[in-house]
């Protein structure tokens, strides 16, 4: 909160809009790094990066980044910068902008443990043939979509929460994929328990109608395999969730001694009972004492699983730009009206 206040104070003193960019955000970042992390930029250790670009109403491109890092026993996330792109929005240009920024602020690129960007196609509607089938399937499509979008909204909240991690997102995606199989099997048997809106007209639905929805659920399942392939293929050590019941003999030899030491650490056991695996691994006494174990699990906790922060940031920037544009338009209209009135009188 102190860092956010100082950043806001810098913006207010400059009398500039939120999108000022390099001239104000760069010193603000120094505040974030020194106040929140309690370290200078060059002293910051591992962190993950969330990066995305967007086009503003004036057709300029804005590059926005957030960082996630460990601060003692807590995972913190803060805006790193919001910079205007003066060239193009190609990957090479974005990386060059990032590289220059890191060099100017003495932040080692090697400290980035993961980077999240938004470059994937939408999960739904990717197949034109499927889309046409849905359009041809009468008005009951709206009831079906109402049910399925409600489930997707729940999943979306799980993926984009402030406390979401790579591990929690993999669990959510894997769980939802399993549910999708149940959905299409049950619909194929005319079981509508998971589709209450569609159940209202279940007696009017033909088998051909249900076949369309079954195909859509299968397509959605396949789309998720593609969209979240990296996440689904990510290896999670079996001792990560509960290291105290893991069979040490089945763990990699290089980790065995550290793991058995952890299993006999009564303080760590008590912390695990109070807060689970996430509170255990985020505790500085644990990740500093067992660095070889931390090396295998830090990506699961530190990496941004989605790019929701930069997307939210862009939405706010666009809102501010639109309000500024509306205010200017109103002032112009008032000035024009006064000018016309003055000319009419004289």
Give me the pLDDT at residue 137, please: 39
Give me the pLDDT at residue 22, please: 46
Identify whether the C-beta of residue 85 lies closer than 8 Å to the C-beta of residue 94.
yes
What lies within 8 Å, CB to CB, of 89 at 6+ separation is 53, 55, 61
CA distances from 124 to 65, 236, 250, 296 (A): 27, 28, 41, 34
The per-residue pLDDT for range 83-113, each reduced to its tens digit, is: 888 766 666 677 778 888 888 888 887 787 7
Give me the pLDDT at residue 9, please: 53
DSSP 203: G
Give me the pLDDT at residue 129, please: 43
Tokens of 16: 């500039």
Give me the pLDDT at residue 135, please: 42
Nearest residue to 70 via CA among 290, 313, 289, 281: 281
* Distance (Å, whole) CA 319 – CA 54: 13
Tokens 């805006």 belong to which residue?
Answer: 79
Give me the pLDDT at residue 279, please: 87
Does the pTM of the predicted model rise above 0.85?
Answer: no
CA 194 to chain centre: 28
The per-residue pLDDT for range 177-229, each reduced to its tens digit, is: 999 999 999 999 999 999 998 888 888 888 988 998 999 999 999 999 998 88
Could you give the angle at the alpha carbon of 17 between the alpha carbons of 12 and 23, nearest 5°? Answer: 80
Give me the pLDDT at residue 1, please: 39
Strands (E), 117-181: none
Average pLDDT for consecutive 10-residue bins of the chain (346 residues)?
Answer: 49 51 50 50 70 74 85 82 76 77 84 65 36 46 83 85 82 94 95 90 87 92 90 88 92 94 94 89 89 89 76 72 62 57 56
Identify whether the C-beta of residue 49 lies closer than 8 Å to the C-beta of residue 112.
yes
Give me the pLDDT at residue 291, please: 93
Question: Exposed, middle or buried: residue 217 (CB in 10 Å: 0-12, 13-18, 19+)?
Answer: buried
The per-residue pLDDT for range 4-16, each reduced to its tens digit, is: 445 555 555 555 5
Give me the pLDDT at residue 339, please: 56
CA 328 to chain centre: 34
Give me the pLDDT at residue 138, please: 44
Q: Is 326 helix (H, G, I), strand (E, B) or coil?
A: helix
HSE-CB at 197 with a 13 A cutoff on CA atoms is: 13
């Amino acid at each position: 909160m102190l860092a956010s206040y100082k950043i806001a104070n810098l913006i207010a003193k400059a009398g500039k809009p939120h999108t000022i960019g390099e001239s104000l955000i760069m010193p603000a970042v120094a505040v974030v790094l020194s106040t929140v992390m309690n370290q200078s930029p060059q002293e910051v250790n591992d962190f993950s990066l969330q990066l995305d670009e967007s086009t503003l109403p004036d057709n300029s491109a804005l590059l926005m980044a957030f960082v996630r890092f460990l601060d003692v026993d807590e995972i913190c996330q803060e805006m790193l910068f919001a910079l205007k792109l003066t060239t193009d929005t190609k990957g090479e240009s974005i990386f060059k902008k990032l590289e220059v920024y890191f060099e100017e602020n003495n932040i080692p690129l090697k400290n980035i443990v993961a980077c999240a960007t938004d470059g994937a196609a939408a999960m739904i509607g990717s197949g034109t043939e499927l889309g046409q089938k849905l359009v041809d399937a009468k008005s009951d499509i709206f009831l079906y979509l109402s049910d399925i979008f409600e489930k997707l909204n729940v999943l979306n909240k799980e993926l984009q929460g402030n406390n979401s991690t790579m591990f929690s997102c993999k669990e959510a995606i894997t769980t939802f994929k399993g549910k999708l199989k149940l959905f299409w099997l049950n619909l194929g048997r005319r079981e509508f328990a998971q589709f209450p809106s569609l159940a209202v007209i279940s007696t009017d639905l033909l088998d051909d109608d249900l076949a369309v929805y079954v195909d859509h659920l299968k397509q959605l399942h396949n789309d998720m395999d593609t969209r979240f392939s990296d996440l689904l293929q990510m290896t999670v050590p079996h001792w990560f969730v509960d290291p105290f019941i893991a069979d040490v003999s089945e763990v990699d030899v290089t980790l065995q001694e550290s793991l058995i030491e952890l299993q006999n650490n009564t303080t760590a056991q008590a912390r695990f009972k109070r807060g689970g695996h996430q509170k255990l691994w985020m505790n500085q006494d644990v990740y500093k004492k067992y660095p070889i174990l931390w090396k295998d699990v830090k990506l699961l906790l530190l990496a941004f699983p989605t790019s929701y922060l930069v997307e939210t940031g862009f939405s706010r920037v666009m809102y501010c730009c639109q309000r500024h544009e509306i205010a200017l338009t109103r002032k112009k209209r008032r000035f024009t009206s006064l000018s016309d009135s003055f000319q009419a009188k004289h």
